[in-house]
Structure 1
């Protein structure tokens, strides 16, 4: 999406609150360019939570969940250094009653947030299903990225800058003017979209945990993600 705004001002001094605007005719161009690229890494974020009326038992339950996560890393030959964890958060859960405080403690909840950098996306479908099977694992989220993002962003910046100048020249010509020089330029709105271009072909994975019932889940890996670069430029006209 692109927006174009042309402002042609007279050479008379601007007054009042508009004094910060340029005192010459100018054109503002807002251009965006985007590219679809194949992701090659993913960041998995999730939380481990446990609750028990006894503090010790809640900690032990969290420890079991953590052990299951570490076992999966070992199973899929993922380095533990790719897993980053927060400190453990612990809180007492109390009974609730309007207007009453310091009620009886019902139990203790503990939580730990983890982030896993997955460098091999071929492991993603199976790993995700098995992570979802872990008791106490909540709020799991996936963000797909490209290791070439910096290189791509630099190239897009060059391309969008050229587009902006060409657009400014065309707009100035339409008003019987010419671009004299660039007055100001900035970038904004660069992002990755992790939900574009999904393909659901041949990525379903059946999981059986030693029972007669199989769990069929579809774990989607995007064929592409969107990387975009936006530029906002002000050109002085002559």
Structure 2
């Protein structure tokens, strides 16, 4: 067979080359379309997650998804050693469970005054200035730095934004909030910290829990309040009872 002539090869090249160019063009413009769409979906999901985790202005201040079915109301004292050990892991647990959010209620105990109310006022001023994120950062900062048991912050230790909060701290606004929340706790007969009130926002069912309740027990409590008679079942659930006398919250 006679080998193809150069003119034949040129003709073949002219016919194939436009097709190759067209295929490359399609690949360039078509291939990224899938990851771009995926990225847009991921960005939308991230935006939705951020919106769900964003908080309305307080007080009372909430931590967790605004879409959560359950609210865990925490009555706490910023000088309470049990609260100090319990709150950081509780906040981390809330982050892993989007169906429940945390609500803070100040309950400064008389034995820890005046430091407990002063630190509560500091947290409220931080929230007033910077919103929920600043509020919860300040709660964490206080527990990291306070000496506890009514001793307050060590000498010379000031909140990073103390100067910016000076006007608020000098006013009565934060203490009015703290006293109102403490009075509400007293009206409910609460005299120890930490105390928890778990509420199902869908049904209105609720459950009172005393002490630093672990995450697994909180999940059990969430299951209990969707039953017809959570109180009777709670009496049979030892994990949700108050802590032993030797470790009584205060």
Fold conserved between structures, TM > 0.5 = no
TM-score using structure 1 length? 0.23
Structure with the larger helix share: 2
* TM-score normalised by the chain length of structure 2: 0.22
Whose strand proportion is higher, 1 or 2? 1
Identify the structure with bigger relative contact order (alpha carbons < 8 Å, sequence gap 6+): 1
